[in-house]
Chain A
């Protein structure tokens, strides 16, 4: 007997949760590099493009729930009421982390100048990473 749609959706939801948890850790590491790794005034186009692609990719996954290649039926089950609520809560967490990080950076820049790109990269990465972590935790618990 084949695997039912519900079982496939369950399995893919768990994989998505783990992918998000791993993605969050990677983003947090990148956030550390953004804090100290971008010298003020330098232009590194390949790095900027990689950052943009990764950021848009994770934002897209957070906005839609991902799994675009899994078929409509499986995707509908993976993004049902519980998952949608989890995603909403995760985005809410990301928003508050971004606000708090912005306040911290504002005051930190009084003590030591911080480049705009470094600050924006840190904010974005922290907000996305915490959203992903919260979503993963809510989905996998």
Chain B
């Protein structure tokens, strides 16, 4: 997928003192998925984005945003 999606998953995760593995456990995905989402390699589905937001106690739009157009 060539579409980009900015995210502040790394910041939100470290703010809560969670490791990638711990967040993966909470959400029910592999650690690789958390890693690739954080690095912008993988654009998550709506369901996964909502699960991540719920696990981190933040609204989904605070975690993910479209890149600015300029």
Contact = CB atoms under 8 A, between A and B. Distances in A.
Interface residues of B, number: 15
Contacts, number: 44
Interface in A1-45: 4-7, 9-10, 13
Contacts of B10: none
Contacts of B29: 77, 80-82
A81 B44 contact: yes
A6 B21 contact: yes
Interface residues of A, number: 16
B32 interface: yes
B48 interface: yes
A6 B30 contact: yes
B33 A82 contact: yes
Given A81-B45, A81-B48, A7 B21 contact: yes
Interface of A: 4-7, 9-10, 13, 76-78, 80-83, 85, 139
